[in-house]
Structure 1
Amino acid sequence: MEDKTTKKSMSEAERLELAKKLDKELDEFINNLPKRTQTDKPLEEGWQEELENHPFFMKKPPEPGDKLHPLYEGLQQLKYDPLENTPVELATSYKEDGNFNFKHKNYRLAILAYTEGIKVRCGDVDLEASLLNNRSAAHFYLKNYRSCLRDCESALKLNRTYIKVKIRAANCCFQTAQYDKCIELCDTILDSEPGNKDVVKLRQDSVHKKKDKERNSRKKELDFKRRLKEEELLLTEIRNRNINIDSKNNSLSIQDLEVHFPALVENKVHLDEENNLVWPVVFLYPEYQTMDFVQSFPENNLLIYYVNEIFSVPAEWDTEKKYTPDKVNVYFENSKLQKVYPVDTQLTLKQILQHEKYLLKAGTPSFIIFSKDSAAEKNFLTKY
Structure 2
Amino acid sequence: MAGPAFGPQPLSDAEIKAKLADLDSIPLFMKSLPEDATEDPAIAALQSLAYEGTPDEIAQNFKEQGNEYFKGKRHREALGFYTQGIDAKPTDLTILEILLCNRAACNLELENYGSVLRDCSRAIGINPKSSKAYYRSALALTSLERFAEAIDCCTRCLAFDQNNKAVEAINDKATKAKEIKDKKERAKREVIARADEEKQRLKRALRSRNIVGVPRPDGSQNPYEPRFDPESPNSLIIPVFFLYPQYATSDVIPEFVEDTTFAAHLTNMFPPQAPPPQWDTKGEYVDGKLVVFAMTRNKRLLKVGKNMSLRDVCNAAKAKEGDPVDGLELKDNCLTFAVLPKGDVEKKWVEEYKKQRDDQQR
TM-score (norm 2): 0.58
Matches within 5 A, 1:158-169: 158-169=126-137
**Aligned counterpart, 2:335:** 365
- For structure 2, list consecutive stretches of 5 or more residues without a partner in the other structure: 1-17, 318-325, 357-362
Counterpart Cα distance in 1 of 2:98 and 2:296: 73
Q: Is the 8 A contact 2:27 2:42 kept in 1?
A: no
Counterpart Cα distance in 2 of 1:165 and 1:128: 12
**Aligned counterpart, 2:163:** 194
**Aligned counterpart, 1:31:** none
Q: Which amino acid aligns with 2:210?
A: N
Q: Which amino acid aligns with 1:194?
A: N
Counterpart Cα distance in 2 of 1:59 and 1:285: 86
Shift of 1:217: 4.5
Q: Please list the CA deviations of residues 25-75 of structure 1 after superposition, one character each: whole Å capped at 9, or x if unmatched.
A: xxxxxxxxxxxxxxxxxxxxxxx99x949943697659x9xxx99657994
Counterpart Cα distance in 2 of 1:105 and 1:292: 66
Shift of 1:335: 9.5
Q: Please list the CA deviations of residues 53-109 of structure 1 after superposition, one character each: whole Å capped at 9, or x if unmatched.
A: 9943697659x9xxx9965799489849xx999765776687678667756656566
SS of 2:332's partner is coil
Matches within 5 A, 1:1-384: 52=22, 55-56=25-26, 71=39, 75=43, 79=47, 107=75, 118=86, 121-187=89-155, 188-189=157-158, 192=161, 194=163, 196=165, 198-246=166-214, 259-261=220-222, 263-264=223-224, 267-270=225-228, 274-282=233-241, 292=252, 294=254, 296-309=255-268, 318=278, 326=287, 346-353=307-314, 355=317, 356=326, 358-367=328-337
Residues 191/358 of structure 1: CA separation in 2 closer, same or farther (3 Å cut): same
What is the percent sequence identity of the aligned residues? 24
Q: Which amino acid aligns with 2:236?
A: L
Paired residues in the alignment total: 313
- Superposed CA RMSD in Å reads 5.6
Shift of 1:160: 4.1
Q: Is the 8 A contact 1:269 1:363 kept in 2?
A: no
Counterpart Cα distance in 1 of 2:153 and 2:187: 28
Counterpart Cα distance in 2 of 1:133 and 1:61: 20
Residues 108/284 of structure 1: CA separation in 2 closer, same or farther (3 Å cut): farther
Residues 364/140 of structure 1: CA separation in 2 closer, same or farther (3 Å cut): farther
Q: Is the 8 A contact 2:158 2:164 kept in 1?
A: no
SS of 2:214's partner is coil
Higher relative strand content? 2
Q: Is the 8 A contact 1:303 1:345 kept in 2?
A: yes
Counterpart Cα distance in 2 of 1:310 and 1:90: 91
Counterpart Cα distance in 1 of 2:339 and 2:60: 82
Shift of 1:128: 3.0
Q: Which amino acid aligns with 1:269?
A: R
Shift of 1:162: 3.8
SS of 1:276's partner is strand
Counterpart Cα distance in 1 of 2:244 and 2:85: 72
Q: Please list the CA deviations of residues 292-344 of structure 1 after superposition, one character each: whole Å capped at 9, or x if unmatched.
A: 451x43322223434444567989x949896976377766678997x998766
Residues 57/218 of structure 1: CA separation in 2 closer, same or farther (3 Å cut): closer
Q: Please list the CA deviations of residues 255-302 of structure 1 after superposition, one character each: whole Å capped at 9, or x if unmatched.
A: x9x7432x33xx5534765532332445578969786451x4332222
Residues 226/70 of structure 1: CA separation in 2 closer, same or farther (3 Å cut): same
Counterpart Cα distance in 2 of 1:219 and 1:352: 40
Residues 146/90 of structure 1: CA separation in 2 closer, same or farther (3 Å cut): same
Residues 123/335 of structure 1: CA separation in 2 closer, same or farther (3 Å cut): farther
TM-score (norm 1): 0.56
Q: Please list the CA deviations of residues 98-156 of structure 1 after superposition, one character each: whole Å capped at 9, or x if unmatched.
A: 66775665656665665576566554423432332233223322334344233323222
Shift of 1:225: 4.5
Q: Is the 8 A contact 1:52 1:59 kept in 2?
A: no
Q: Is the 8 A contact 2:23 2:30 kept in 1?
A: no
Residues 332/193 of structure 1: CA separation in 2 closer, same or farther (3 Å cut): same
Shift of 1:158: 1.7
- For structure 1, list consecutive stretches of 5 or more residues without a partner in the other structure: 1-47, 249-255
Counterpart Cα distance in 1 of 2:41 and 2:141: 42
**Aligned counterpart, 1:4:** none
